[in-house]
Structure 1
């Protein structure tokens, strides 16, 4: 499972790494922020609007809400944060998105929890050099049949995509694809996010059937280390969360 992750990179470096640009109103010059509305994140959580690249706009970095709501759902509640790689092509919630709506989800680490005598201990899993990577994702667009919309999966501060006229538009959401864990993550959890090789990212967005990419990333270049339990609170988002605990 992938239920929290980090993205510590600065905006310019993120745009250069993925050869894409932020575009929404928070990123226009003159908004009062040198980062254009994007800052490093230490505790990205479900329900938040987070940066991704979708297959239909590969040169654009957009913000979608984490927690996929299928287009056919009766309402926008119960967003799905993870999708099992083994069943993407057959599960009703993911089949259409797998065929036509894939995305890259940016991260440079993710959190997993393991049981200890003192309770669950969070660990951060990342590359040894903390380089950014793309997790395989799926995205969807949901629209209400009525004029009155319900509150979505917004417990952690998320919201819907805004239309150009400033009114609420369709709800656009995403989910992170998971697979079997590698040798490092298996000590912490029985699932891990699908991390794509850089030269496979375009293939994930464009291939007819990219199931061959949905393998656990080798553990050789990765590390896992314990971090503060303050990460358990999704409202806490500060640099101290990624610092290793002193032994």
Structure 2
């Protein structure tokens, strides 16, 4: 599951333009931190993680996001896109890996948010880029389908089933590896 992602100054500047928000800083974003999302209303700053009791739920499974009562209404009415340069995962030996696109392009992760201003990242079963490290990965959107995901519920549901793109995985010791799907 996606438990941390990275956003750089270029993405922040591009999305927020002249708007300054002290809650948004370049670097690693952890559950409970604030991030930039795109919603049906435009770019917004929201908190990563949806509270349930004393816990914070920060991921939702693509297989059940349209049927689980905790997520269903938000998915149907409040889908969002989360922006990142990369995300991190840990293998069973607790070794950290960074995943990104081959040319370090901006990642668009599909998510949803609630009326109180909390967002979660949707995850999918891992593709060949991830499976050796972790069994889940963020739901990644191609730039050309962002509007379909945000504004068309049926297209959004269809996108949940699409194959995920290949990623580069970088062991935090610096070793790079490119896997094709």
TM category (shorter chain) comes to: 0.7 to 0.9
Alignment of 1:67-106 (within 5 A): 67-69=49-51, 77-106=54-83
Cα 1:185–1:205 change in 2 (3 A) is same
Flag as ranges the 4+ runs of structure 1 deviating above 4 A: 20-23, 36-39
- Residues in 2 aligned to 1:54 and 1:181: alpha-carbon distance in whole angstroms: 25
Q: Secondary structure at the match of 1:10?
A: helix
Alignment of 1:168-247 (within 5 A): 172-209=117-154, 210-214=156-160, 215-219=162-166, 222-227=167-172, 244=174
* Residue 227 of structure 1, CA deviation: 1.1
TM-score with structure 2 length normalisation? Answer: 0.86
- Residues in 1 aligned to 2:24 and 2:108: alpha-carbon distance in whole angstroms: 17
Which residue of 2 is the match for residue 166 of structure 1?
none
- Residues in 2 aligned to 1:88 and 1:22: alpha-carbon distance in whole angstroms: 35
Unaligned runs of 5+ in 1: 28-35, 143-171, 229-243
Provide the alpha-carbon RMSD of the alignment.
2.2
Contact 1:180 1:216 in 2 (8 A): no
- Residues in 2 aligned to 1:123 and 1:39: alpha-carbon distance in whole angstroms: 22
Greater strand share, structure number: 2
Alignment of 1:19-34 (within 5 A): 21=17, 23=19, 26-27=20-21
1:163-220 Cα offsets, whole Å, 9 max, x none, are xxxxxxxxx100000011110101111110001000111111001221221234121x
Contact 2:123 2:137 in 1 (8 A): yes
Which residue of 2 is the match for residue 233 of structure 1?
none
Question: Bigger radius of gyration, 1 or 2?
Answer: 1
Cα 1:12–1:136 change in 2 (3 A) is closer
Q: Secondary structure at the match of 2:95?
A: strand
* Residue 22 of structure 1, CA deviation: 6.5
- Residues in 2 aligned to 1:21 and 1:194: alpha-carbon distance in whole angstroms: 26
Contact 1:66 1:81 in 2 (8 A): yes
Q: Within the alignment, does 1:53 sit opposite 2:38 as a pair?
A: yes
Cα 1:183–1:22 change in 2 (3 A) is farther
Q: Secondary structure at the match of 1:88?
A: coil
Which one of 96, 112, 125 corresponds to residue 138 of structure 1? 112
Which residue of 1 is the match for residue 29 of structure 2?
44
* Residue 40 of structure 1, CA deviation: 2.4
Cα 1:37–1:83 change in 2 (3 A) is closer
TM-score with structure 1 length normalisation? Answer: 0.64
Unaligned runs of 5+ in 2: 177-181
Contact 1:135 1:195 in 2 (8 A): yes
